Amino acid sequence: MGSVFRDLSPETKIIGVELTGASSLTVSLRNNKNTELENVENFVDGASVRLMGDGNFEYWKNGLDEFLTIDEGLICLTILKVYNENALVVEPAGALSIIALELLEEKIKGKNIVCLVSGGNNDITRMEEIKERALLYEGLKHYFLVKFPQRPGALKEFVVSVLGDTDDIVHVQYTKKNQRSMTTALVGIVLKSKSDFKPLISRMEAFGFLGEYLNDNEQLFECIT
């Protein structure tokens, strides 16, 4: 396709898009040779390329006018947005070109754009995962290890004094240990606004509930998402 455009419409610009978690082209261009990635994020299975073909690399290293890397969380957010606003089911790889439109908004004003969108490889059972990834990307969903005193009313104090008016508990794992003064619970909280995060942390610290923030702990975080 790229060769056809170069021959028939050389003024047409071709912009490539790939994932931050599977950026084989970016790494290969940096190394000036086709490079195999050690690890790739497989969520966007239609675009998770560990090693591209040598022919593809030789062409695209000089055949792209521009290329972008896209975060997987932004892909999930776009899938939900397109579904809610346009009633279209878009697979993760199919959402990449839509995201590029927004990122290049100023550059493409007044130009004719072709945006390839596909949806045949989307499994409806993945929607909960897509929703969670979108919330995490927006900074609206957070997981904590919360320290609870082993006394009556501790949970009520957490809900009344720590949670904001629009904060929502969406996940709890807790087992009471009768022989301990403190116990730890795994708590997932969804915020209405990203700006609510710092006040929530401050209240958890002030009332002695903050144990550990898990979103930044990659090993623990993988066990709960």
Whichever domain contains 187, its CATH number is 3.30.70.260
Q: Long-range contacts of range 120-129, CB-CB < 8 Å, 24 or more positions apart?
A: 120/91, 121/45, 121/46, 121/91, 121/93, 121/94, 122/79, 122/89, 122/90, 122/91, 122/92, 122/94, 129/43, 129/76
Average pLDDT over residues 100-127: 83
pLDDT number for residue 206: 94
pLDDT number for residue 200: 96
- Which of 134, 161, 182 is the C-terminal boundary of a domain? 134
- What whole-number distance in Å separates Cα of residue 163 and Cα of residue 222? 25
Q: Are residues 111 and 167 in the same domain?
A: no
pLDDT category, 225, cuts 50, 70, 90?
Answer: low
Give Cα 57 to chain centroid, integer Å. Answer: 27
- Which of 134, 163, 181 is the C-terminal boundary of a domain? 134
Reported as a single tens digit per residue, the pLDDT across 47-97 is 888 999 998 898 888 888 888 999 999 999 999 999 899 888 888 888 988
Strands 210-213 and 141-149: antiparallel
| The total number of structural domains that make up the chain | 2
Q: Are residues 117 and 38 in the same domain?
A: yes
Q: Are residues 129 and 172 in the same domain?
A: no
pLDDT number for residue 158: 93
- Which of 111, 134, 157 is the C-terminal boundary of a domain? 134
pLDDT category, 178, cuts 50, 70, 90?
Answer: low
Supply the mean pLDDT for the chain.
88
Residue 177 has pLDDT above 80, yes or no: no
Residue 180 has pLDDT above 80, yes or no: no
